Structure 1
């Protein structure tokens, strides 16, 4: 792995961790959050895409919540 790939990997890992920590901190009904960076296939190199899977407690019943978020090159978030 070259230096650029290592820096990119570290950057994505840091963002994954920050998203996970933010979700757990501000949404107490959420647990077991897994955030995974999605490869750039089909996305601009200036866009970051992450897949999120978490358990959500809805009225004492856990359900799976799964979605993608995209940060585009204009710093706008899109939830899919």
Structure 2
């Protein structure tokens, strides 16, 4: 029987997700379900990136700035957003490490900006790499696709 450290078994999903009535009961010997961890990470990424700096009084630097600056070209804008996404995830998504964010142009919908995130799950219980696609749509909302 293998032992999973308590902090690693709890590390997979958020506190509120663990408190939900329909969440599965786990013992210390069970590790986190990788699918649930990935879903939790995706939800958190979406919430983080759709937050704006200054909206949270307890964490004023949480989120991204509003990139509604017409003076930036499309390539410069994509570069600035890419760097901001990486900084935000490095700071506020501790379950990920070695985060790489790439801009992927969308020729069919040039008004949408697409980004691809590659990272490793930062847990001894899970040794998975994750790849997540993001879309910044015309309503300026980030969606995990």
The question of a shared fold, defined as TM-score above 0.5 by the shorter chain, is answered with yes
Question: Which piece of structure 1 moves more, 6-15 or 67-76?
Answer: 6-15
Higher strand fraction: Structure 1 or Structure 2?
1
TM-score between the two structures when normalised by the length of structure 1: 0.79
Residue 41 of structure 1 corresponds to: 107
Question: Greater Rg, structure 1 or structure 2?
Answer: 2
Which consecutive residues of structure 1, in runs of 5 or more, have no partner in the other structure?
1-5
TM-score between the two structures when normalised by the length of structure 2: 0.46
Tell me how far apart the structure 2 counterparts of residues 75 and 9 of structure 1 sit (CA, whole Å): 17
Residue 138 of structure 2 corresponds to: 73
How large is the Cα RMSD of the aligned pairs? 1.8
Could you say what secondary structure the match of 1:67 adopts?
A: strand
- Give the number of equivalent residue pairs: 74
Tell me how far apart the structure 2 counterparts of residues 76 and 39 of structure 1 sit (CA, whole Å): 17
Cα shift at 1:71: 1.1
Cα shift at 1:8: 2.2
Cα shift at 1:75: 1.8
